[in-house]
Structure 1
Amino acid sequence: MDDTAKYLIHASISADGVVERSDVVGAIFGQTEGLLGDDLDLRDLQQSSKVGRIDVQVDSENGHSFGQMTIASSLDKVETAILAASLETLTRVGPCQAVIEITNIEDVREAKRRMVVERAKELLTESFDDTVMTSTEILEEVKESVRVEDITEYHGLPAGPRVTDSDAIIVVEGRADVLTLLRYGIKNAIAVEGTNVPDDVATLTQERTVTAFLDGDRGGELILRELSQVGDVDYVAFAPEGQSVEDLDRGAVIRALRNKVPLSRLPDEGDFRSAVADANDTGGVAPDPRPESPTTDTSSTPPADVTTDAVGETSSDNNGTVTVEKTVEADTGSDPTAEADVFSDSTVEAVAETVEPVQQTRSLSDHVRETISDGSGLARLLDADFGLLDEVAVEKIYDTLEDADPVPRLVVVDGEASQKLIDIAAQRGVGDVVARSTGEYVKKPVSVRVRTADQLLT
């Protein structure tokens, strides 16, 4: 029926008492029976599949009931309008006085046509784009391929070319992480390739200054626990929560390594990722083990764990962590600070961003203000008590909601409540979706209540 329906009849219901869905459905069949004659009898229309099932959602509050009703119709426009008008003749639902009002008759085909037009625009943009590369793109691709080709092996493990001779190394999880760091000029990384730390890596950590740079998930914590048991780790850095090292851009990689924390400052038990984040929030960034030169201008020199030469060569730091290949050449002339200026502009951001952890809130309105009104670009999954279960970027909400455990009671999204989102919400058993705006719906599940931030906060 859903595939052949032409129209959707939407109606609102209000009753002076507590009623349930079965009461509403029974009242509709009982009070419209014989009203429009045999040709438009509602039971006969359903049996012949000309009218779909009656979807009803009713809520009760303070002794009153209110809700919405949807009926799919494959009748023509006139017959559908007559059927809709007949619903407004109902005056009672169960033992209660009630009012049913038709709010809209939606043309399903028009909604499908709009979807076709929007999808055609996307296909036109994505499938027929210009594939001719510009000169700049060609240069960048060649440069990147040269960097990627620098990947080597250390006792069969993926590694950067400087692992064998650098005084400091970075231990990462997999080959993709090594490639990511190589792309940004960091050549002293080695991968453990799984949670079982190889003996060769454990031995290597005994001889070098070691930073473990791991994914921001449970797997990263497990690798750190084993590595700290079988090897010698000096510093720890994690990718942001829920992200992998291979997904980070250059600025995020440099910030994470800048904010590394000594392993000795982490607790023996508990969540290592939270401990690292707390140390950064309280200023517990690992100190520079080298003596500070009284003539050093700290505002223009690179951080202690990043070393570079002015014209693109690499060098290593006896107590540092990262060996960075500089990709920008500059004529410094006689200006002694020009070299440092080139570094700060092209290699590392001068100020690390500090992200305040999301505080637990007690009301749905607070979540809506923080997520939507503040334009956070995030989505929050909440339990029945409005407790925060998870928070992700808007573009990841579909996958996160499909895999969420436990299933959230509410979802707050700084974006559009699209057809796909409410379909997934209905499949998972989510009761409410609050979004910045609503979308165009071919069929709106009655089990999911969709509201906008403006409706909730006004």
Structure 2
Amino acid sequence: MSNISWCYEVIELSSQSFLVKYVIKAYFEVEGVVERPDVIGAVFGQTEGLFGSELDLRELHKTGRVGRIEIELKSEKDRTKGKIIIPTSLDRVSTAIIAASIESIERIGPCKARVWLEKIEDVREAKRKAIIERAKEILHQWNLEKQPETEEIFREVSEILRISRVQKYGPEKLTAGPDIDSAKEIIIVEGRADVINLLKIGIQNVIALEGVKIPETIIRLTKEKEATAFLDGDHGGDLILKELLQVANIKYVARAPKGKEVEDLNAREIKEALKNRISVEELLKRRKRKKIFVSKEIEEAIKEVKGTREAILLDEKMNEISRLPVSELAEKLKEMDGVNTVVFDGVITQRLVDIASEKNIKYLIAVRISDVIKQSLNVKLLTFNNISN
């Protein structure tokens, strides 16, 4: 089946099979001699807590969304050079964030270090190319062996494929269906695989963003046509929706079920999601209705921690007990008593909720709540956007 290597396609993780979508490959250079465990420790330790548990490498490794991290290294003349290889089953946005966080590593072991990204391999793209090459071989052999009466069937199937083919649209060459120009309404999705999935069930007025930055073509189309944003049900989808609402004229929003990607939905799930779309106007009204009034002390604490990566701990009378870095928050909360409210510039994770429940903390207030939280009955979770002045 050609010369394509499948070494990263499926990795055995504990008792489960781990299907790899992307492989992050990064180089590193260390001013000193280090071992593989030092590099692994830096990868896990220096990226911990940057983006919450849903993008924490330890958590992702435990839940099987990041595979075994491979390290290749060589030491000579008091310097160590090598490569970090991280297979993931995450979406494109999350994989890019993980890659960027790896580049933020500054020390490995006791030594100063530099890490830079070589590339992110799309394993599925490699697989698709190999399948296409094999399909060409099969088709060629089939054409040699086919009977004359199959000619008409072949022409009919080719015509169906021609009608539903994927196209490149606009100066950015965005992946799209064939009906973008003729349709009065368009559906905007995140990537190429999403477009293909919608084409399979006959939806041809679809176009992909293909990145976090919104292309000018999308901005123009949303001014000319009624646009529905159909996005993944994860944090990446939240970020893209936020930017779309700022720069484009979106009329409706549809989302994949929580934790799912549009490319993985079946026909029923796609139709249901589009049927349940809501107008942007209604979405903004819902967000407004969620506003909650809090004390002046909490409002002040929110203003003080924004952009600082710090936490402020308040007692029952709203007096400040302590102020500390968010990276130390979980461990410090375990040791402290009498905390009523925690306000911090970070993400509310399941670990923090569990600690708060154990320590009888009433409120956790932060920038964002992780997508994988199991709500505790005795801890109220709020975001800065929920708070009304």
- TM interval, shorter chain, is 0.3 to 0.5
The structure in which a higher percent of residues are strand is 2
Bigger relative contact order, structure 1 or 2 (CA pairs below 8 A, ≥6 apart): 2
Tell me the TM-score normalised to structure 2 length. 0.33
Higher helix proportion: 2
- State the TM-score, normalizing by the size of structure 1: 0.29
User: Which protein is bigger by CA-based radius of gyration?
Assistant: 1
